Amino acid sequence: MRRSCPRIVVAAALAVLLVASGCTPSDEDDAFRPGGADVGDPYVPGYGNGGYDVAHYALDVRYDPATDRLTGRTVMTATATQGLSRFNLDLAGLNVDRVIVDGATAKHRRTGNELVVEPAHGVPRGTRFTVEVAYAGVPAPVTDGPLGSGGFLHTDDGAIALGQPDSAATWFPVNGHPSDKATYDIAVTVPDGLAALSNGVPGPKRSDGGWTTWRWSERSPMASYLTTLVIGDYRVSTGTHEGLPMVTAVPSGEPPNGPAAASLARTGEIVDFLAGRFGPYPFEAYGGVAVADERIGYALETQSRPVYGPGFFADGRPNFDVVAHELAHQWFGDSVSLSRWSDIWLNEGFATYAEWLWEEHDGGRSAQQTFEARYATTDWTRPAVDPGREGMFGTAVYLRGALAVHALRRTVGDDAFFRILRQWTTERRDRNGGTADLVALAQRVSGRQLRPLMDAWLTGGSAP
């Protein structure tokens, strides 16, 4: 929040003495002006918006696989961080019927993937306000993302909404950058017989006239790319773990004891192991969804309920490493989210290191053995920090990130290392952070100067 201070200026021959007399909002702060149409993150140009901070989204969507048509109503609750004459939301490829701001009809127009809203009256800085958007259309996939296919994908039996760094804007209006996290209530209405899976705690289902509404609630702040919607013919298993709901699902055409189901069945066990290293599990529900669509060539840590593409189980065997990776993200990436995409190693480096820890725990190689093998084959010309948009899911982000994590552990010792991890996940729970924040915490906990070490392992041009 920008504030300016009036100053008393005393002139002398070669100096000017500035004496602050207290801060008051400037005229610019109080004026109504457009909110920014971009948060300025070069990795996701055009995504995210300025001028407001979202607290909550209430989503109510209806999807008919027979026509591939989605109708939706989103109510966003936010606080203005500046006086707003207008503001933007990210929304791709859907037609907007109406926009209502604080109960009054607002003007709106589309500019590419931006929904520009001009409320009937300016929104003063610091004011909490609501925005209701009614929209409909045939959602479109994202075909040029760093991970390949994503966004809203029509499938043979339903749809999958998934992707990183952008996917949410293909099915609801959103401030689409992880720097603005929010809580969610999600209601999804689909034809009877289909499942509609999303994030968080399951609510009551209701059927009426051949349609069933599934309800989900994510009460911890969530970055928008971590939302998901999986609709189709799935075998859904519900239960509890440590007193919290556990929901897993696999395609109905797959055997109940197949590799995907066997992998997801160990979700609770793997979470408990990771909680012993990273601190308490940060959310109110557990689970996972395995999908069969070959266009999903990745697994994604969608909050509280990761989604796994079919390639991870293609050899007919369970894959517990990928489950450990995506569950580790619940701490590193989901609960503690990056502030800018250039720091994505904070997500992927720690999740990769969690695979090494799990493999050792599960009777495989030790983390040290994995470290030595990966060190020997690493391309040190590629940085883990700020790898560029084309490299944000490259090998350096994952492996150099994990190597740096293990180097930190070897340098400070296990006691300090795991205290650093637990303090990071505790102090920044539900918030954001960057590389500099992590290094500062590690130095505070260990009492050592660690910047040169981390620079060498994360960005140095030769083998440390």
Q: Which of 197, 207, 217, 454 is nearest to 307 (CA)?
A: 197
For 326-350, how does the pLDDT look when each residue is reduced to its tens digit (9 = 90+)? 999 999 999 999 999 999 999 999 9
CA atoms in the 13 A half-sphere facing the CB of 9: 5
Q: At what angle do helices 401-412 and 345-361 cross, to 10 degrees?
A: 70
- Whole-number pLDDT of residue 148: 76
Question: Strand 33-34 and strand 84-90: pairing?
Answer: parallel
Q: Which of 164, 161, 199 is nearest to 178 (CA)?
A: 164
- Whole-number pLDDT of residue 28: 56
Q: Which residues contact 86 (CB under 8 A, 6 or more apart)?
A: 34, 35, 116, 117, 118, 119
d(CA 456, CA 354): 22
- Whole-number pLDDT of residue 27: 52
CB atoms near residue 79 (< 10 Å): 14
**Tokens representing 52?**
């407001």
CB atoms near residue 423 (< 10 Å): 15
- Whole-number pLDDT of residue 3: 27
Separation of first and last alpha carbons in the chain: 41
- 253 CB-contact burial (10 Å; exposed 0-12 / middle 13-18 / buried 19+): exposed
- Whole-number pLDDT of residue 29: 56
Strand partners, 337: 432
Three-class SS of residue 343? helix
Q: Would the pTM count as exceeding 0.85?
A: yes
Q: At what angle do helices 345-361 and 267-278 cross, to 10 degrees?
A: 110
d(CA 81, CA 128): 10
Cα 114–chain centre separation = 20
Which residues of the chain carry a pLDDT beneath 50?
Answer: 1-25
Amino acid identity of residue 58, one-letter, is: A
Question: Strand 229-232 and strand 159-162: pairing?
Answer: antiparallel
- 38 CB-contact burial (10 Å; exposed 0-12 / middle 13-18 / buried 19+): middle
d(CA 108, CA 314): 47
Amino acid identity of residue 263, one-letter, is: S
Q: Which residues contact 116 (CB under 8 A, 6 or more apart)?
A: 37, 86, 87, 88, 108, 109, 110
Radius of gyration for the chain, computed over Cα atoms and rounded to the nearest angstrom: 24
